[in-house]
């Protein structure tokens, strides 16, 4: 047993050399500030297309955007960009803007995503640089050496590009703005569907059904059991609740029917107790007769 | 779908609508692109959850061994190693693995891990995580968290970023007290790359150990009066130590309480001081340990319970007595009844003693307690950690109800529905029982208590009402203890040492229920010693020992107040027990051990009063 208790203590997975610790902290601090500046510059570039927004509003939007970065809430940053677009982009613009706006949207989406991932990406990048420079050692336990793998980066970039490309295709194909009148004319003449969105609608519904089915098939046996229970409970809840309430009432009635008999505090109260018991018994018989 | 994803989707939909209505094409494009990006994120996430995550296999090695059903020691550190049996690299998601630890374990953090080239961690250099963080202002600590998020990471938790993988990691824990140590499994939090979707799962990997109580086996705790401590060799049956035998062992100075018949008159006359003849012992002195594990001694966190002090004293005394060849018996009593083991000697006997104390340290089902919000919060936290899949709204659906109407009450009621749904699945309840749990506070509280207790949560405030409420009926407890003492006395031979370990400080007013049993034991020529553990883990200071110091804090003052209260109770208790001929030690684990050893010596030497009868 002693051999078992005296097992080898753990090894730390990461080791630091004493002089490198300060440098590492400084490096990380400077890196953070630099990355924040880059993101801020990108945002300014995005909303600074025209001077449609006044300085106070621009400052407000910048604050909202940076707040999103600080709390890692990408949606907040996106709202800031959307709001700036709402204020400055031309109303009833040309459809050609959709195609030309491709790169702008790509940059905007990349900015939002990088703002969301800033702390984690920053940690990975600085760790990678420190390890490469030999300031931080890695033991054999941890095999990871690439901060953001090339595959992951490629997947993310492809995912974003595809999303934007599909968005462009969809917007170019659905009848919005001036296109809608022209499309209505042609569709009435050809006697086809009243709205071309039917195809899109069917696709959307199909996609929704598939997604829901896939999500549903992910559940395990325990979850299925909980689901069945909850369905049964929902179906019979009112009846079961009524039964339960009735049962409680009956139990309460039964417990009330037997009056509590106080215990005698001394030998002198024994006679009092017997009188009390007799009186209780009489009350019970009276109440039964009355009912 | 996390809040982030929901907010993204709502912002995207509103933006798309506004863009289409106002004909702002770039806005529409950005919004639609964001919606499609969320969908692609979900698709990738789903594929990984469905096909990659099930391939992940984790294993735990405790002190280098994968098997369970072994013994550990309380108050010692353990080396836990987590290994990936099959490593999977997630290219579009992050994975957080947390080894769910029982309450009986305390995570240790290495100081030497940072700023040291020494790869091995010495157990003595380990300290608690909470003391590691220096005090910082909120602003500084927020910025620090933003810059370096690893600060808050616990050693039993590991995060794998996108594309990362590793073989495993190690950390150290300390066993707080004797009892059971059950590693239940791993909590996996799988998140999409940008945190839009999350999947939580509890992977079972159960390992169960018995934690034996710690003990001391050092010369520091030997009684001063015990001179010889030689274990008889094999084949030699005569015990070469002081006792009441016929063979002379040595001469020593007289001490109060020594029998007059042992005075060596001639030697005393020569040396001009009283000398005593010490004889060899022929019969080993028996020690009977009685441990009272009633509710009051089990309240509190593991390692801070009164019972933990008692098991430590019992194990230490058992070790020392068995080392010197004295058989040790044990009797334990609590709400479950009385269990008695006859006196045993040798290593095997000591192991049985430790196992008995260890099993006794496991908390039984707690006494019923009224439902309160803390209890609900505790069970919600537990279920979220160990059964996250049962709390999913998709599967644990709620019926529509009108009442309660107010949002706060309605939210609490919905929460209760969810908890009851999970409890019904865990305990296999019928739908009728499920409805009864929803509407019956008492049954709901009882079921929660059972779950918390079975999950190894100590008897803290949510599990039991309070220590005071458990102490309302001390008469029954003392009656049972008296019965236990009587049982031990009934099975004992003459002149044994009976050590009663019980929390008696709050029972001075009803001590008459216990005293007859003590008087019976004393009348049968046994020595009876009481050990009363205290919540402060210290002996009460003598009256007037406090001198004002300018550096006293509120905690110090509270401790002094508690010590004063204990002092008064201890004095009363000591007075009552001394009248019956029993000695008392109020906590001070070392002093309790010394007292019992002195009593043991007194029995061997036939003295009427033990030396070092400390209180």
- pLDDT higher than threshold 60 for residue B129: no
Mean pLDDT, chain B, whole residue set: 77
| B66-77 pLDDT per residue, tens | 887 788 888 888
Residue B441 Ramachandran class (φ > 0 left, ψ -120 to 50 alpha, else beta): alpha
Contacts of B284 (CB under 8 A, 6+ apart): B239, B325, B326, B327, B345
Q: What value does the mean pLDDT take over residues A194-223?
A: 78
Q: What confidence category does residue A56 fall into, taking pLDDT thresholds of 50, 70 and 90? A: confident
Residues 250-289 of A with CB under 8 A from B: none
Cβ atoms of B284 and B600 closer than 8 Å: no
* Chain A contact set for B30 (CB, 8 A): 78, 81-82, 85, 101, 105, 108-109
Distances (CA, A) of B149 to A28, A122, A144, B146, B159: 12, 11, 18, 6, 11
Q: Can you tell me the ipTM of this complex? A: 0.70
- The two counts, helices (H) then strands (E), for chain A are 11, 2
Residue A113 is predicted with a pLDDT of 81
Residue A154 is predicted with a pLDDT of 82
| A212-237 pLDDT per residue, tens | 888 787 788 888 898 998 888 888 88
- pLDDT higher than threshold 50 for residue A14: no
Residue B420 is predicted with a pLDDT of 92
Token representation of residue B179 = 């009892």
User: Which of B596, B532, B593 has its CA nearest to residue B567?
Assistant: B532
List the single range of A17-26, A228-237, B568-577 with lowest mean pLDDT.
A17-26
CA separation for the pair B242, B225 (Å, rounded)? 10
Contact A222 B168 (CB under 8 A): no
- pLDDT higher than threshold 80 for residue B344: yes
Helices (H), B23-47: 25-47
Residues 144-163 of A with CB under 8 A from B: 144, 146, 148-149, 151-152, 155-156, 159-160, 162-163
B32 three-state secondary structure: helix
HSE (CB half, 13 Å, CA atoms) of B17?
6
Tokens 């079961």 identify what position? A240
| A144-174 pLDDT per residue, tens | 444 456 777 788 888 888 988 888 888 777 7
List the single range of B265-269, B392-396, B536-540 with lowest mean pLDDT.
B536-540
* Chain B contact set for A234 (CB, 8 A): 397-400
Q: What confidence category does residue B497 fall into, taking pLDDT thresholds of 50, 70 and 90? A: confident
| B503-530 pLDDT per residue, tens | 888 788 888 888 888 888 888 878 888 8
Contact B24 A4 (CB under 8 A): no
* Chain A contact set for B194 (CB, 8 A): 74, 113, 116-117
Contacts of A89 (CB under 8 A, 6+ apart): B24, B25, B26, B27
CA separation for the pair B341, B361 (Å, rounded)? 16
Token representation of residue B529 = 């010693």
- pLDDT higher than threshold 50 for residue B15: yes
* Chain A contact set for B36 (CB, 8 A): 162-164, 166-167
Residue B419 is predicted with a pLDDT of 92
Residue A181 is predicted with a pLDDT of 64
Write the residue in B25, B40, B50 that is nearest to A98 by C-beta. Answer: B25
Residue A155 is predicted with a pLDDT of 82
| B38-97 pLDDT per residue, tens | 988 888 888 888 888 888 888 888 888 888 778 888 888 888 888 877 667 776 778 888
User: What kind and span of H or E run contains B287?
Assistant: strand B287-292
Residue A146 is predicted with a pLDDT of 45
- pLDDT higher than threshold 60 for residue B234: no
Minimal-distance CA residue of chain A relative to B431: A233
Write the residue in A32, A81, A230 that is nearest to B395 by C-beta. Answer: A230
Cβ atoms of B533 and B306 closer than 8 Å: yes
Residue with the bigger pLDDT between A21 and B31: it is: B31
Minimal-distance CA residue of chain B relative to A227: B395
- pLDDT higher than threshold 70 for residue A288: no
User: Which of B21, B451, B502 has its CA nearest to residue B296?
Assistant: B502
DSSP A145-204: --SS-HHHHHHHHHHHHHHHHHHHHHHHHS--THHHHHHHHHHHHHT--S-THHHHHHHH
User: What kind and span of H or E run contains B468?
Assistant: helix B467-470
* Chain A contact set for B79 (CB, 8 A): 7-10
Residue A47 is predicted with a pLDDT of 66
Q: What value does the mean pLDDT take over residues B5-13?
A: 88
CA separation for the pair A77, A108 (Å, rounded)? 10
Residue B542 is predicted with a pLDDT of 61
CA separation for the pair B279, B249 (Å, rounded)? 5
pTM of the model: 0.70
Write the residue in A28, A101, A146 that is nearest to B29 by C-beta. Answer: A101
Tokens 């969809």 identify what position? A170
Minimal-distance CA residue of chain B relative to A210: B43
- pLDDT higher than threshold 50 for residue B273: yes
Token representation of residue B154 = 């616990």
Minimal-distance CA residue of chain A relative to B155: A12
Q: What value does the mean pLDDT take over residues A52-66?
A: 76
Residue A11 is predicted with a pLDDT of 35
Q: What value does the mean pLDDT take over residues B108-123?
A: 41
Most confident of A47-56, A179-188, B18-27, B217-226: B18-27
A74 and B CB contact within 8 Å: yes
DSSP B248-265: EEEEEE--TT--GGGB-H
Contact B79 A8 (CB under 8 A): yes
Residue A101 is predicted with a pLDDT of 76
- pLDDT higher than threshold 70 for residue A8: no
* Chain A contact set for B66 (CB, 8 A): none
Residue B540 is predicted with a pLDDT of 65
B103 three-state secondary structure: coil
List the single range of A200-214, B84-98, B303-317 with lowest mean pLDDT.
B84-98
Residue A129 is predicted with a pLDDT of 66
Residue with the bigger pLDDT between B156 and B499: it is: B499
* Chain A contact set for B436 (CB, 8 A): 244
- Give the A:B interface size as CB pairs under 8 Å: 290
Q: What value does the mean pLDDT take over residues A270-289?
A: 56
Contact B30 A168 (CB under 8 A): no
Q: What value does the mean pLDDT take over residues B277-298?
A: 81
Cβ atoms of B253 and B605 closer than 8 Å: no
Q: What confidence category does residue B163 fall into, taking pLDDT thresholds of 50, 70 and 90? A: low
How many Å from the N-terminal Cα to the C-terminal Cα in chain B?
Answer: 63
Strand order of the β-sheet with B337-344 is B337-344, B328-334, B287-292, B497-501, B527-532, B583-586
Residue A279 is predicted with a pLDDT of 64
- pLDDT higher than threshold 80 for residue B154: no
Residue A144 is predicted with a pLDDT of 44
Q: What value does the mean pLDDT take over residues A109-127?
A: 70
Residue B352 is predicted with a pLDDT of 92
Residue A192 is predicted with a pLDDT of 60
Cβ atoms of B367 and B476 closer than 8 Å: no
Contact B146 A32 (CB under 8 A): yes
* Chain A contact set for B150 (CB, 8 A): 123
Q: What value does the mean pLDDT take over residues B213-225?
A: 64
Minimal-distance CA residue of chain B relative to A17: B115
Q: What value does the mean pLDDT take over residues B280-307?
A: 81
Helices (H), B130-279: 138-147, 265-271
* Chain A contact set for B42 (CB, 8 A): 211
């Amino acid at each position: 047993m002693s051999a078992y208790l005296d097992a080898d203590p753990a090894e730390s997975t990461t080791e630091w050399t004493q002089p490198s610790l300060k440098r590492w902290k400084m490096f990380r601090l400077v890196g953070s500030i630099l990355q924040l500046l880059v993101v801020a510059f990108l945002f300014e570039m995005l909303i600074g297309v025209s001077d449609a927004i006044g300085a106070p509003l621009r400052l407000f939007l910048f604050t909202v955007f940076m707040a999103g970065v600080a709390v890692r809430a990408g949606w907040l940053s996106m709202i800031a960009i959307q709001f700036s677009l709402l204020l400055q982009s031309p109303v009833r613009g040309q459809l050609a803007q959709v195609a030309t706006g491709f790169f702008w949207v790509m940059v905007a989406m990349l900015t939002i995503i990088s703002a969301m991932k800033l702390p984690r990406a920053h940690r990975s990048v600085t760790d990678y640089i420190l390890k490469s420079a030999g300031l931080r050692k890695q033991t054999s336990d941890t095999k990871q050496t690439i901060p953001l793998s090339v595959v992951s980066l490629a997947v993310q970039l492809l995912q974003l590009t595809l999303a934007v490309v599909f968005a462009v295709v969809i917007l170019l194909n659905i009848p919005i703005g001036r296109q809608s009148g022209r499309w209505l004319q042609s569709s009435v003449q050809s006697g086809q569907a009243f709205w071309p969105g039917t195809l899109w609608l069917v696709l959307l519904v199909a996609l929704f059904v598939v997604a829901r089915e896939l999500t549903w098939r992910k559940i395990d046996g325990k979850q299925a059991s909980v689901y069945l229970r909850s369905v049964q409970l929902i179906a019979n809840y009112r009846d079961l609740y009524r039964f339960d309430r009735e049962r409680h009432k009956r139990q309460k009635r039964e417990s009330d029917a037997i009056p509590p008999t106080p215990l005698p505090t001394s030998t002198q109260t024994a006679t009092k107790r017997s009188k009390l018991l007799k009186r209780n018994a009489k009350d019970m018989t009276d109440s039964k007769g009355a009912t | 779908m996390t809040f982030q994803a929901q907010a993204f989707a709502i912002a995207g939909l509103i933006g798309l609508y506004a863009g289409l209505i106002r004909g702002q094409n770039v806005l529409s494009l950005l919004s639609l692109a964001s919606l499609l990006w969320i969908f692609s994120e979900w698709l990738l996430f789903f594929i990984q959850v469905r096909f990659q995550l099930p391939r992940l296999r984790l294993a735990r090695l405790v002190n280098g061994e994968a098997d369970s059903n072994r013994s550990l020691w309380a108050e010692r550190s353990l080396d836990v190693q987590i290994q990936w049996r099959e490593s999977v690299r997630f290219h579009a998601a992050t994975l957080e693995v947390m080894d769910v630890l029982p309450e009986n374990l305390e995570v240790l953090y290495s100081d030497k891990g940072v700023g040291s080239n020494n790869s091995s961690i010495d157990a003595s250099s380990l300290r608690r995580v909470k003391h590691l963080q220096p005090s910082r202002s909120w602003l500084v600590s927020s910025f620090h968290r933003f810059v370096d998020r690893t600060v808050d990471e616990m050693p039993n938790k590991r995060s794998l970023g996108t594309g990362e993988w590793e073989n495993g990691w190690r950390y150290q824990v300390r066993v707080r007290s004797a009892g059971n140590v059950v590693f239940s499994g791993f909590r996996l939090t799988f998140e999409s790359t940008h945190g839009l979707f999350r999947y939580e799962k509890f992977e079972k990997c159960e390992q169960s150990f018995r934690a034996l109580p710690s003990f001391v086996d050092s010369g520091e705790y030997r009684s001063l009066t015990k001179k010889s401590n030689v274990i008889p060799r094999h084949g030699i049956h005569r015990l070469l130590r002081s006792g009441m035998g016929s063979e002379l062992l040595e001469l020593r100075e007289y001490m109060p309480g020594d029998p007059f018949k042992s005075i060596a008159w001639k030697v005393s006359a020569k040396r001009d001081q009283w000398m005593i003849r010490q004889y060899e012992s022929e019969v080993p002195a028996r020690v009977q340990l009685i441990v009272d594990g009633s509710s009051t001694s089990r309240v509190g966190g593991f390692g801070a319970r009164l019972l933990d002090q008692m098991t430590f004293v019992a194990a230490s005394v058992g070790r020392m007595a068995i080392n010197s060849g004295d058989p040790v018996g044990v009797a334990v009593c609590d709400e479950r009844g009385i269990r008695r083991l006859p006196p045993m000697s040798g290593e095997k006997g000591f192991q049985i003693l430790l196992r008995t104390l260890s099993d006794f340290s496991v908390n039984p089902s707690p006494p019923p307690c009224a439902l309160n919000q803390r209890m609900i919060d505790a069970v919600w936290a537990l279920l979220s950690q160990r059964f996250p899949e049962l709390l999913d709204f998709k599967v644990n659906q709620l019926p529509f109800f009108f009442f309660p109407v107010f949002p706060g009450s309605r939210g609490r009621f919905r929460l209760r529905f969810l908890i009851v749904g999970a409890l019904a699945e865990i305990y296999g309840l019928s739908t009728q029982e499920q409805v009864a749990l929803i509407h019956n506070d008492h049954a709901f509280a009882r079921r929660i208590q059972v779950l918390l207790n079975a999950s190894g949560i100590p008897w803290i405030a949510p599990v039991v009402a309070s220590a005071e409420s458990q102490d309302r009926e001390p008469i029954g407890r003392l009656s049972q203890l008296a019965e236990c003492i009587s049982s031990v006395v009934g099975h004992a031979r003459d002149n044994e040492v009976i050590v009663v370990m019980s929390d008696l400080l709050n029972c001075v007013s009803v001590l008459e229920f216990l005293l007859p049993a003590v008087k019976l034991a004393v009348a049968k020529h046994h020595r009876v010693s009481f050990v009363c553990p205290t919540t402060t883990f210290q002996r009460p200071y003598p009256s007037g020992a406090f001198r004002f110091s300018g550096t006293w804090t509120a905690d110090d003052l509270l401790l002094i107040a508690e010590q004063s209260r204990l002092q008064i109770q201890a004095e009363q208790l000591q007075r009552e027990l001394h009248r019956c001929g029993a000695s008392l030690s109020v906590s001070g684990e070392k002093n309790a051990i010394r007292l019992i050893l002195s009593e043991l010596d007194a029995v061997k030497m036939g003295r009427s009063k033990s030396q070092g009868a400390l209180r």
